[in-house]
Amino acid sequence: MEQIRRVLSVIVLNEDGVLSRISGLFAGRGYNIDSLTVAPIPKTNLSRLTIVTSGNTAVLEQIVKQLHKLIPTYKVIESGTFVEKELALVKIPLNEDFNGLDAMLKAYNGTIASSNEDFIVVMVADDYERIDNFLKAIKKYNPIDMVRSGSVAMDI
Amino acid sequence: MELSGSQMVIEALRKENVSVVFGYPGGAIMNVYDEVYKQNYFRHILTRHEQAAIHAADGYARASGEVGVAFVTSGPGFTNAVTGLATAYMDSIPMVVISGQVPISMIGTDAFQEIDAVGISRPCVKHNYLVKDVKDLPRILKEAFYIARSGRPGPVHVDIPKDVSAHMGEFDYPDEIKMQTYRPTYKGNPRQIKKAIEAIANAKRPVLYIGGGAINSNASAEVREFARIAGIPAVETLMARGIMGDENPLLLGMLGMHGCYSANMAMSEADLMIAFGPRFDDRVTGKLSEFAKHAKIIHVDIDPSSIGKIVPIDYPIVGDLKNVVDAMIPLAKEHIDENKYKPWRDLLNRYDEIHPLKYEDSNEILKPQWAIERVGQLLGDKAIICTDVGQHQMWAAQFYPFSYPRQWVTSGGLGTMGFGLPAAMGAQVAMPSKTIINFTGDGSILMNIQELMTAVESKIPVINIILNNQFLGMVRQWQTFFYDKRYSSTDLTVQPDFVKLVESFGGRGFRVHTKEEFDIALEEALKSNTVCMIDVHVDRFENVLPMVPSGGTLYNMMLEYKE
Ligand SMILES: Cc1ncc(C[n+]2csc(CCOP(=O)(O)OP(=O)(O)O)c2C)c(N)n1
Ligand SMILES: [Mg+2]
């Protein structure tokens, strides 16, 4: 059956062990986690996890139900209308020729996040597919390290 | 009121009306045991192994419908308990298990008898807690009992570090709780219920497929009433035995791998399946693509994740079964004509006449099925029937005449050998006026044999009937059928003298080779009022039939085994 990519926004009680319940659920039942981010929701006792997963429709339905079944789960949002963004950091040595880098950063909403005498760190925040493309394109500057954050999403 | 953590445990159990705790002490839970010594609210039964403490609490819960409670210590005490937790979890049994843990300051240091207990229990409990502050303990205990018994029931594990059980704190135990993130649905959606009734009214060949959820929901009376009004034939899973009562003309019997022919044919030929709290286990469905191929499916379950997990469902109804069936009954009276299904019922009854459950009795050698039928004739509804796991378990499910729910205590989902004796002890403690029979095997009984000591000490007079085939019989049967009779590691001819064994513990033992000896032994056992073991030597090569080989189809059962 066809594999569908799905973004889930999961609101859970911000308590000990809740992340292990969720990662354990995915591992134990053989579900995919493509990315997972987590942070507390300000002024509440809750946290928001953004999970990017994939599976056929039956598996995706089970994932949502199994997440609901966990006692600390408050809400699972799976609506198709998400603003979904991802952040990437790329470290490039200063001895590279930066010709064209400015234009590339502009095209991907990027900036230079940090620099010192040996390298610069560029940062982009964009849709996950565009991050894929950016990370391919940036290869020509021979980056020494790349980090991506995983998606964060907000339902609209 | 200021109490220590240990005192809070005792007080919470009192507030929850707990009358018995099964357990085994050790360093990390000694504070709690010190308070157990001082109190007289509940009885504490010392088992001789932690696994047995959990199974006993489980058997207590299955027989009574109340939450079973057990105490174990940290490290090996807890790891011994894991099989018990998993057994209860697979069968949705309400239980609260409290374990000791090393003091907070030592957690994470690989301290003596430290193990990540909540890490281990997570996949085999409904929920768990590591208590980090005594001020959270009353709330956690309240939640633990609430979660265990509400919604789809299940075991809850509470891990209490030794310093937390000594710390003092305010004991404020709420009567009621509402949890922000856990709110099970009890009432079925009326629109869905109406649609389901329409579907039933339009069906020609409906069948009730009843699972363990009907036991947990205490829905036997409602399910019987609904079946009667609608005139719909019913099949029961292993877990649901007793819901319809075997005298009920609408009950075809158990379905699945060792189900009866008419029950499996009913599923295969039905045009509508009405699933009341089953979970479509692979031992029931056989090959999925062929399972109930012609049927639309109504599935009532309190656990939304159970619906649509294995097969797509046409009419899902989330809710407590008792509640939902109660709402269905008046609609059924109005819209369903039971006469319509008469040809269907007649057809299924004919199937039952052609291929009833059967075995060939013998005068030379005792047949295991005969022993079960005989106990059924002699004790009937006076006995609660517990089992271990194997052939004897399937024969008990097939041949004992069950007449009410909670008369049947067996490990279904996990299939845990060693469950029988401790679970039977729990059932006996829950139901002191009943006779408790544990049908067990010569393999299984040795997996918690030490509990004979508990039974003697705590005066729990369960009667263990070993259907002794000198084999790990169920595995041997598969080797006969599917492995060219290569009996790899299943021959148990080397075995203890079970009579001497039980007598060394202080119980009574009987060895039986004939029907006459069987009757005498059972009569003696019933009179003895102590734990008994009847070692019944049965035909070694008897097979459980009929059988749907795993991956086979329900409509293509093996009815006989030919060499
Ligand atoms: C703890 C455990 N180990 C292994 C098994 C696999 N198993 C299932 S039935 C069975 C044989 C049981 O033998 P016995 O208790 O003598 O019962 P019989 O089948 O002979 O009636 C075995 C080994 C199991 N179910 N549980
Ligand atoms: Mg055996």
The structural domains of chain B, ordered by start, are 2-170 (3.40.50.970), 190-354 (3.40.50.1220), 368-537 (3.40.50.970)
pLDDT greater than 80 at residue B10: yes
Residue B293 to residue B488: CA distance in whole angstroms: 37
Nearest to B55 by CA among B384, B416, B389: B416
Residue given tokens 């007598």 in the structure block: B503
pLDDT at residue B14, rounded to an integer? 98
* DSSP character at residue B189: P
| Residue A121 burial (C-beta neighbours within 10 Å; 0-12, 13-18, 19+) | middle
Share of chain B above pLDDT 90, in %: 99
pLDDT band at A156 (very low <50, low <70, confident <90, very high): confident
Q: Are B359 and B367 in contact (CB under 8 A)?
A: yes
Closest by alpha carbon to A139, among A73, A68, A88, A64? A88
Q: State the DSSP H helix or E strand holding residue A11, giving kind and residue range, or none if neither.
A: strand A4-13
Please state the length of chain B: 563
CA A66, distance to chain mean position in Å, is 21
Rounded distance from Cα B544 to ligand 2 centre (Å): 12
pLDDT of residue A1 exceeding 80: no
pLDDT of B520-550, one tens digit each? 999 999 999 999 999 999 999 999 999 999 8
Q: In what order do the strands lie in the sheet with B127-130?
A: B43-46, B20-23, B68-72, B95-101, B155-161, B127-130
Average pLDDT over residues B398-424: 98
Domains of chain A as residue ranges with CATH: 4-79 (3.30.70.260), 83-155 (3.30.70.1150)
**Overall average pLDDT of the B8-18 stretch:** 98
Ligand 1 binding pocket includes B390 (Cβ within 6 Å): yes
Express as a percent the part of chain A with pLDDT over 70: 100
Question: What one-character DSSP code corresponds to residue B445?
Answer: G
Catalytic residues of B: 50, 112-113, 162, 474
pLDDT for A2 equals 87
Mark B302-326 as b/e (b = at least 16 C-beta within 10 Å). bbbbbbbbbbebebbbbbbbbbbbb
Model ipTM value: 0.94
DSSP characters over B9-40: HHHHHHHTT--EEEE---GGGHHHHHHHHH--
Q: What is the pLDDT of residues B158-196, one digit of tens each?
A: 999 999 999 999 999 999 999 999 999 999 999 999 999
3 state SS of A36: strand
pLDDT tens digits for B287-309?
Answer: 999 999 999 999 999 999 999 99
pLDDT bin (cut points 50, 70, 90) of residue B562 is confident
- Out of A97-101, B171-175, B452-456, least confident range: A97-101
CB-CB: which of A16, A24, A72 is closest to B181? A72
Contact B155, B89 (CB under 8 A): yes
If we measure between CA atoms, which residue out of B110, B399, B84, B338 comes closest to residue B204? B338
Region B76-97 average pLDDT: 98
- The letter for the amino acid at A113 is A
What digits encode the pLDDT tens for the residues B38-56?
999 999 999 999 999 999 9
Measured at the alpha carbon of residue B203, what is the angle toward residues B198 and B207, in degrees to the nearest 5?
A: 105
Burial class, B219, CB count within 10 angstroms (exposed 0-12 / middle 13-18 / buried 19+): buried
CA distance B48 to B62: 21
Taking residues B425-441, report their average pLDDT. 98
| B305 interaction partners in chain A (CB closer than 8 Å) | 62, 65-66, 68-69
What's the whole-number mean pLDDT along residues B57-67?
A: 98
- Residue B218: partners with Cβ closer than 8 Å, 6 or more residues away: B65, B322, B405
**Is 80 exceeded by the pLDDT of residue A80?**
no
The torsion angles phi and psi of A69, rounded to 5 degrees, stand at: -70, -25
Strand partners, B533: B464, B509
Asked whether B535 lines ligand 1 (CB < 6 A), one says no
- Encoded amino acid at B2, one letter: E
Indicate whether A79 pLDDT > 80. no
Task: Name the band, by pLDDT with cuts 50, 70 and 90, for residue B97.
Answer: very high
How far apart are alpha carbons A128 and A113 in whole angstroms?
A: 19
pLDDT of residue A81: 85
Give the up-direction half-sphere exposure of residue A34: CA atoms within 13 A in the CB hemisphere.
15
State mean pLDDT over B495-502: 98
Taking Cα atoms as reference points, which of B257, B14, B16, B243 lies closest to residue B149? B16
Task: Identify the pLDDT of residue B53.
Answer: 99
Ligand nearest, relative to CA of residue B55: 1
Nearest to A1 by CA among A54, A77, A64: A54
Whether pLDDT at A95 is above 90:
no
Separation in Å, CA of A81 to nearest CA in chain B: 24
Give the DSSP H or E segment for B351. Answer: helix B342-354
Q: CA–CA separation, B171 vs B105, rounded Å?
A: 23
pLDDT at residue number A145: 97
The pLDDT mean for chain B works out to 98
E-strand ranges in B171-227 read 206-210
Would you call A71 an interface residue with chain B, using a CB distance cutoff of 8 Å? yes
Q: Are A61 and B308 a contacting pair at CB < 8 A?
A: yes
Mean pLDDT of the region B244-254? 98
Residue B163 · residue B103 · CB < 8 Å: yes
Distance from the A58 Cα atom to the nearest Cα atom in chain B, whole angstroms: 8
